[in-house]
Structure 1
Amino acid sequence: MKITQILALGVCCILICNARAAKSRTYMDTITNKQKVLSFYKQIVGQRKTELIPEFIIEGYKQHNPTVKQGRAGITEMINFLKTLPSPPEGARSPIVRAIQDGDLVVLHLDVSFMGKRMAVIDLFKLKDGMLTEHWDAIQPLPDESGKAITATNGTTEIEHHASAEDSRLIVDQFYKVILNKQSASQFINPAYVEHDASVVASGKGLAGYLSEPERAVKIHRIISEGDFVVVQSQFNRNGKTFVFYEIFRVAGRKIAEHWSVEQAVPDDVKPEDMF
């Protein structure tokens, strides 16, 4: 099997032998899809139980990761590859940091370490009748962040379910509309705002300034929300290349209070639309 950076997600996820049950699992149908995805990670990816794949994945499973085959065959091939690797250590930390659900969509934010390399990953799954039907993702290598108080994936993890998902989504949607219209967005930023994207910090422009750079040409595909967390799936351009871009926003006091992101270049031989 060809091993690529994107396939490294499968390799790195051998650490998910004991994926935690998200503490945000409350409220009826929110349990079903989110817990189904977490169970998929634990039993299929972590414990490599290929015999259970038909219980989680539909035969016509649509894969937007261009290095993985379509359907159950792609998942089976990936898990069979994982079986050739050493077993994860007993009690290994789960790399799942955040789990967010909006109806039939579930987003996982992961901090994955493998063979001395660390990556931030965002997975997006679509489900129907309790079965995984579609998958998108992005993987970004991370630098050494030892000793840093703010890293690419740390910060708030628990969803505030008393917060309105619709209100949170509206704040982020309005924020982006203002940015795309080249207007000031300072009114959307909480005074206690925390930025986890080192590129935003290094730019010195703030989040709004960074996202509104003329060469970025942002195109939003989906906005997903649960409680005070909002995920934006989009694409942008840099130096003639198209990037897949996932952002997680936390909203507090009707303002953006925290921000994480994962970006990945679209391979040269892949149409950008195929990754969305």
Structure 2
Amino acid sequence: MSRTEIPHPSVVYRLVRLVFHCGPPSQQKFWRIPIQQTQTERNKAVILEILTTAFSSKDFTALDRYLHSDYIQHNPFIPPAKAGLRKFIAELPDTTRYEPGAIIAEGDLVMVHGRYTGSDKPLLGVDIFHFEDGLVVEHWDVLQDEVAARDTVAGNPMFTNPQAGSADRQI
């Protein structure tokens, strides 16, 4: 082979396999997923999926997939375990929606500031989730009624969505 010849693709493929000690593309996750999420990013995505699908459309697929069988619920109004949370959400009005705001994560904890709507008055909450082995094992929350910005002493809204930009910061 002269310097101007390009090696056949199969030669390149075998060389890559040799250098990286990997099998065929069908067995390599990195061939299908170009950017691998960190565990913290994955945990945040899991929580957003659970909250938005369960509360906004009563789709319990993510809840069933990502909540541990021994899930511990600390909210005093929600029955215990995964089944208790499922039942609680199922009994909410069909107009119930969840809107995520700021979300942070560190280690095995994820905290999200969100808005629950669909009842008489919007409810704001900070939900705290604890993960073990990729599953949610525990949940705490702090909830309060939302007060319109015009009715607050500071004149600022109680809820903003940093991902939405400044256009969505007034209620």
Instruction: Give TM-score scaled by structure 1 length.
Output: 0.40
Selected match of 2:139 from 135, 138, 141:
135
Structure 2 stretches lacking a partner, 5+ long = 1-35, 164-171
Matches within 5 A, 1:124-163: 124-146=128-150, 150-154=156-160, 157=162
RMSD: 2.6
Matches within 5 A, 1:48-197: 48-50=58-60, 52-82=62-92, 85-87=93-95, 95-146=99-150, 150-154=156-160, 157=162
Structure 1 stretches lacking a partner, 5+ long = 1-25, 159-276
Q: Deviations over 1:178-208 (max 9, x none)?
A: xxxxxxxxxxxxxxxxxxxxxxxxxxxxxxx
Q: Tell me if structure 2 keeps the 8 A contact 1:111–1:119.
A: yes
The one-letter amino acid paired with 1:28 is T
Higher percent of residues as strand? 1
Moved over 3 A (4+): 50-53, 112-116, 146-149
Distance in 1 between residues matched to 2:37 and 2:134, nearest whole Å: 16
Superposition deviation, residue 149 in structure 1: 5.2
The verdict on how the C-alpha distance between 1:95 and 1:53 changes in structure 2, with shifts beyond 3 A counting, is closer
- Larger CA Rg, structure 1 vs 2: 2
**Correspondence for 1:41:** 51
Selected match of 1:30 from 36, 40, 43:
40
| Percent of aligned positions that are identical | 23
Q: Deviations over 1:20-55 (max 9, x none)?
A: xxxxxx962221110011111123222212355331
The verdict on how the C-alpha distance between 1:126 and 1:151 changes in structure 2, with shifts beyond 3 A counting, is same
Distance in 1 between residues matched to 2:115 and 2:150, nearest whole Å: 14
Where 1:46 maps in the other structure, the secondary structure is helix
Q: Tell me if structure 2 keeps the 8 A contact 1:36–1:130.
A: no
The size of the alignment, in residue pairs, is 126
**Correspondence for 2:8:** none
